[in-house]
A and B are shown apart, each in its own frame.
Chain A
């Protein structure tokens, strides 16, 4: 069964460093998402992406975050200058279309630790 994959599974970085989290969505999907979960807290929506544009973003997704689909298979989340509070599990998701009947399929997550 097709699945969303994410790399790396765990990333440790120093405060102020740039980090890129990578995702490979399901191949025929057109909508892509990033969510994050700070330890012990809720899973929070960050951004959705369609047709090479951000279609929706949350207030968390400020100027230090960016997303990109650099080729036909990868979808990346870049954090320009990491802060301690960026430590979280980051989930990538994809869906075939945007309607509620189209399930968002989630990857296993990347645990980001900022020291």
Chain B
């Protein structure tokens, strides 16, 4: 079946540090890939997505590239801010019109001033 594996947290970084959160997936065909973010007390928000191989999703300074050859979708940001502190979820949605989103376990990011 489909699955998503992402790095364990929590991740603690100083402000302006470089962020990488690793994500790999297992799926047949060509799934769409997503990063969701959950700020404290709020719901899951779509951060970025990529729907085909070599696509780069980007939003709010975050980027992730769909790498079919390594089945990866790592999240990166060049300079994190305290306001980026949240839980980040990697996720996939299979091809073929299915609506189910499969999530990873989430990685908590804490950015300290």
A residues apposed to B, CB below 8 Å: 3-4, 31, 33, 35, 40-45, 48, 55-56, 58, 91, 93, 95, 98-101, 103-109
How many pairs of residues, A versus B, come closer than 8 Å at their CB atoms? 54
- The reply to whether B43 and A107 contact each other, CB–CB distance below 8 Å, is yes
One of B32, B44, B89, B102 near A100 (C-beta < 8 A): B32
- Number of B residues near A (Cβ < 8 Å) is 23
One of B36, B42, B99, B103 near A48 (C-beta < 8 A): B99
- The reply to whether A104 and B101 contact each other, CB–CB distance below 8 Å, is yes
- The reply to whether B42 and A45 contact each other, CB–CB distance below 8 Å, is no
B46 at the interface (CB under 8 A from A): yes
- The reply to whether B43 and A109 contact each other, CB–CB distance below 8 Å, is yes
B61 at the interface (CB under 8 A from A): no
Residues of B within 8 A of A45 (CB): 100-102
